[in-house]
Chains A and B, each alone.
Chain A
């Protein structure tokens, strides 16, 4: 088999199976639904601009959305899913996730995480992405959940 034929065979198989598998509708979760609350000195902060960004390596697909915290300091982002005909080919899923906070002219590193799977709520091993962000905290690494920033899972 020439190398071009080998590649075409693999790709065709991948496409055929993907087309076949569309009936099973496997959803690729890039960024699970986010429910967050921003605090300062334990009190909710209204008017914090939260920017959600993602970078899906496999498709080289990027996106960005903005939300603003309400009177209870809450913000929400709906789930982000993706579609790919070739995602069936073996590869390492990598989706870079970022939440940037901006308040009174100051920027805060909220959430930085490399999602390594396509599962729903795959960021926190099945737990929903409910976060609490304290503007007084120093952004640090959280190796137990592989994230960095001032936003941590709500208890």
Chain B
């Protein structure tokens, strides 16, 4: 019933990449021996499953496997989920619309489509099994898929699910994260990420990470943003032989850190603002988002709506439901727009317009950062 060690979980997170070609399980077993997982799970008899990824150019490849435990882990089950690897996967990640997830909470559309493409295989694998523990492991996109699987399994009333993710992106809205955390228990969610791993920072609000409360395994990194920080090799190096308690840190108030980090990077490239203006924008953003998080996602969600529209929609709903949000911010937003020298939208559209502007700013910032990180990465 005990968790996999960080080293074992990290080895699994990489090992599942070998399932991409859906080759022989004998080779999968040999690779497991190479990764130090030989005696833990019965890879010779692994059930590999194909899935589909890619929004426009779809491709079917091996995405996940189910394996039974051996020895002291007899009666346990391991579910591994492959991460971003082939070009088509990247299309899945960029597809940021929202859909109803396994527990009905809104989740990332692209990740959900891939999960749905092998969900039936997952159910078939679990049929008739009563494992004492189910370990769901994944890196990058695989971490998102593992989270959806954990949500799906716990929604079906299957208990004792443990989730291990490395450099995973955010999967669903705050309600999704809250629900998953309460179903699994925060002690059973091992979220590992380098502080500078850009994938762990996307997609931006309204997406949120699970666990929504409690410590996570936030690992240090030299710079602010680095794609090298996303690689499993570097996760393994940082993790070494550490225990989970050794890796856990009390979670920072990410909203404040995120807003400040984004604004800091935007300023000087996209914006030329004084520190005061930035602080005002930061406060306004945090206030608005903070209020919006308390709003139940009763908005009609269509799979084709972008995140930008969703947030605007959520906030319009929020502003309508609690007039206080819109009203108290009006004067602040007017000030900000004046600072920016931008034309003032009508009072009725103030909050939405502000959010739209900030989110376009953040999106541009992400692209600029990505370009710079790629630049640096290519020079190494």
Contact = CB atoms under 8 A, between A and B. Distances in A.
Interface of A: 1-4, 6-7, 9-10, 13-14, 16-18, 20-21, 24, 26, 55, 57-60, 86, 88-94, 96, 109, 112-114, 116-117, 139-143, 146-149
Nearest to B36: A143
Contact of A116 (B38, B231, B377): B231
27 contacts: A3-B95, A3-B97, A7-B55, A7-B94, A9-B367, A10-B367, A13-B371, A14-B374, A17-B371, A17-B375, A24-B378, A26-B378, A57-B85, A58-B86, A86-B87, A92-B14, A92-B85, A92-B232, A93-B231, A94-B18, A94-B20, A96-B18, A112-B30, A113-B34, A117-B231, A146-B34, A146-B35
Contacts, number: 131
A3 B96 CA distance: 6
Contact of A90 (B14, B20, B21, B199): B199
Interface in B55-103: 55-56, 83-87, 89-91, 94-97
Given A6-B96, A57-B20, A94-B17, A26 B379 contact: yes
A143 B140 CA distance: 23
A144 B335 CA distance: 60
List 3 tightest A-B contacts by C-beta distance, closest first. Answer: A141-B33, A143-B36, A21-B378
B314 interface: no
The main secondary structure of chain B at its interface with chain A is helix
Interface of B: 14, 17-18, 20-21, 27, 30-36, 38, 55-56, 83-87, 89-91, 94-97, 139-140, 198-199, 227, 230-233, 306, 308, 360, 363, 367, 370-371, 374-375, 377-380
B107 to A, nearest CB: 15
B145 to A, nearest CB: 14
Given A59-B87, A141-B33, 19 more contacts: A3-B55, A3-B306, A4-B56, A7-B55, A9-B367, A10-B90, A13-B367, A14-B374, A24-B379, A58-B85, A90-B84, A90-B370, A92-B14, A109-B30, A114-B17, A114-B31, A140-B33, A141-B30, A146-B35
B36 A1 contact: no
A59 B85 CA distance: 9
